[in-house]
């Protein structure tokens, strides 16, 4: 039975192209033969990973085999160590371009981080441009650079393909590639894991519901309240009147509706029961004030961020906006801006400001769930 790695398409392609050869198959001591280097190494768990890394460099990243060496010697104090794979920037092999440190596939994160530190120590002697540490399952890529404090390492999500800097607009292409893959690594390492956490699902639920209910309330305001103010009242004749005063109805009604609909998420029965049980142990027959009035407190905590956000972004100055500047953000609620909307789109007068406030409202809703849970556990 062939080892699983030898059945991969990558290794099969490497064998087909004559890059590598597995010798003594079926025998106790198998070996990996690297054709271009004319070197053999015992087939062991760590060699299995090095084999895959080498074939990725040649077949996927397109690095020339003649620039790749195995067991790159590096002087560390009075002794020598060896880097698993070294890739040079030139055919004469005078300048190190990439160092690759390999660990067996089953290592844990602790051992893997030690390998990363080991690779960086090698780089501080050889000054390569890139580092790659791999266990097959775990991979870490770095762009190295000199700084006043020593060597710095910019983490990437992959290696650059061979010859990237030699292409048209070489330095510009390289800078753009580094930017994309630095940001890509940040998202992969820090953002994507967050999407698997419960708070993200809660945020999506709260935000979606705020947006949907807010859109419905804005539509109702545009269809009923705005025409009523225009046709049935004399409010528009007042120079100090603006629709920002009416807008407050949208976040107030929306917040009440969303909190009422999701009260089970905000105040789970289990949390409520825990608070009641803790209260009974204290010999008290009634819940604390903040628990008896939890909906009121939650309403204020969630509503205020929306009002503050819209006031900061769309604050209205009657003196400035009365006869001019309808297109400016700070005159959003002016009569001039109202007149610029067709009747079918007047809901946007209310919905656009509310949309900006919905983001902090969703975060505030999550905060309420944490706060209530924390209070219920207070001894």
Instruction: Give yes or no for residue 1 having a pLDDT over 50.
Output: no
Binned at pLDDT 50, 70 and 90, residue 278 comes out as: low
Q: Which residues fall within 8 angstroms of residue 128, CB to CB, at 6 or more apart? A: 86, 96, 97, 98, 99, 144
The yes-or-no verdict on residue 244 having pLDDT over 70 is yes
The percentage of the chain sitting over the pLDDT mark of 90, rounded to a whole number, equals 44
Is residue 358's pLDDT more than 80? yes
pLDDT over 80 at 131, yes or no = yes
C-beta pairs of 157-165 under 8 Å, 24+ apart in sequence: 157/181, 157/184, 157/185, 157/188, 158/184, 159/61, 159/98, 159/130, 159/132, 160/61, 160/130, 161/61, 161/62, 162/61, 162/62, 162/63, 162/64, 163/62
Which range of 47-51, 146-150, 347-351 scores highest in mean pLDDT? It is 47-51
pLDDT at 291: 57
Phi-psi region of 132 (alpha: psi -120 to 50; beta: other; left: phi over 0): beta
Decide if pLDDT at 14 tops 90: yes
The fold for domain 46-162 equals tt1808, chain A (3.90.1570)
What does each C-alpha distance from 291 to 252, 267, 373 come to in angstroms? 21, 10, 11
Top-confidence range, 106-115, 254-263, 266-275, 319-328: 106-115
Q: What is the mean pLDDT of residues 191-214?
A: 82
Instruction: Show Cβ contacts of residue 9 under 8 Å, excluding neighbours closer than 6 positions.
Output: none
How confident is residue 149, by pLDDT bands cut at 50, 70 and 90?
confident
Kindly report the average pLDDT of the chain as a whole number.
Answer: 83
Does residue 307 carry a pLDDT above 70? yes
Q: Is the pLDDT confidence value at 150 over 90?
A: no
Residue pLDDT, tens place only, 27-51: 778 899 999 999 999 999 999 999 9
* Mean pLDDT of the 159-164 span: 84
Domain with CATH 3.90.1570 in the chain: 46-162
pLDDT at 327: 63
pLDDT of residue 342: 82
Model confidence at 345: pLDDT above 90:
no
Higher pLDDT: 136 or 241? It is 136
Q: How confident is the model at residue 379 (pLDDT cuts 50, 70, 90)?
A: very low
Q: Are 118 and 104 in contact (CB under 8 A)?
A: no
Assess contact for 172 and 72: CB atoms under 8 A. Answer: no
Query: Using alpha carbons only, how large is the chain's radius of gyration in Å?
Result: 32
Give the pLDDT score at 326: 60
| Adjacent-strand bridge partners of 192 | none
């Amino acid at each position: 039975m062939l080892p699983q790695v030898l059945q991969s398409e990558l290794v099969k392609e490497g064998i087909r192209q004559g890059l590598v050869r597995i010798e003594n198959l079926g025998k106790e001591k198998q070996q990996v033969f690297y054709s271009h280097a004319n070197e053999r190494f015992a087939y062991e768990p760590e060699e299995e990973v090095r084999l895959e890394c080498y074939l990725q460099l040649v077949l996927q990243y397109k690095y020339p085999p003649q620039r790749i060496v195995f067991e790159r010697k590096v002087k560390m104090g009075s002794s020598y160590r060896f880097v698993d794979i070294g890739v040079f920037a030139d055919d004469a092999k005078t300048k190190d371009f990439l160092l690759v440190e390999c660990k067996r596939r089953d290592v844990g994160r602790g051992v893997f981080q030690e390998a990363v530190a080991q690779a960086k120590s090698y780089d501080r002697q050889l000054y390569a441009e890139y580092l790659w540490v791999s266990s097959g399952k775990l991979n870490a890529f770095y762009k190295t650079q000199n700084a006043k404090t020593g060597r710095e390492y910019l983490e990437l999500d992959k290696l650059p393909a061979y010859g990237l800097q030699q292409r048209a607009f070489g330095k510009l292409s390289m800078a753009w590639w580094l930017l994309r893959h630095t940001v890509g690594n940040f998202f992969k390492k820090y953002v994507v894991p967050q999407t698997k956490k419960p708070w993200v699902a809660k945020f999506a639920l709260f935000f979606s519901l705020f947006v949907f209910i807010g859109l419905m309330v804005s539509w109702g305001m545009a269809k009923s309240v705005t025409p009523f103010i225009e046709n049935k009242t004399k409010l528009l004749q007042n120079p100090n009147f603006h629709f920002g005063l009416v807008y407050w109805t949208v976040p107030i009604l929306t917040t009440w509706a969303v909190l009422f609909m999701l009260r089970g998420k905000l105040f789970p029965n289990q949390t409520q029961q825990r608070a009641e049980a803790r209260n009974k142990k204290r010999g008290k027959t009634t819940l604390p004030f903040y628990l008896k009035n939890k909906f009121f407190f939650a309403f204020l905590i969630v509503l205020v961020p929306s009002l503050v956000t819209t006031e900061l972004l769309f604050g209205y100055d009657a003196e400035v906006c009365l006869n001019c500047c309808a297109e400016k953000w700070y005159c959003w609620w002016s009569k001039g801006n109202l007149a610029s909307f067709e009747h079918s789109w007047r809901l946007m007068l209310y919905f656009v400001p509310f949309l900006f406030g919905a983001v902090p409202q969703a975060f505030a809703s999550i905060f309420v769930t944490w706060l209530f849970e924390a209070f219920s556990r207070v001894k």
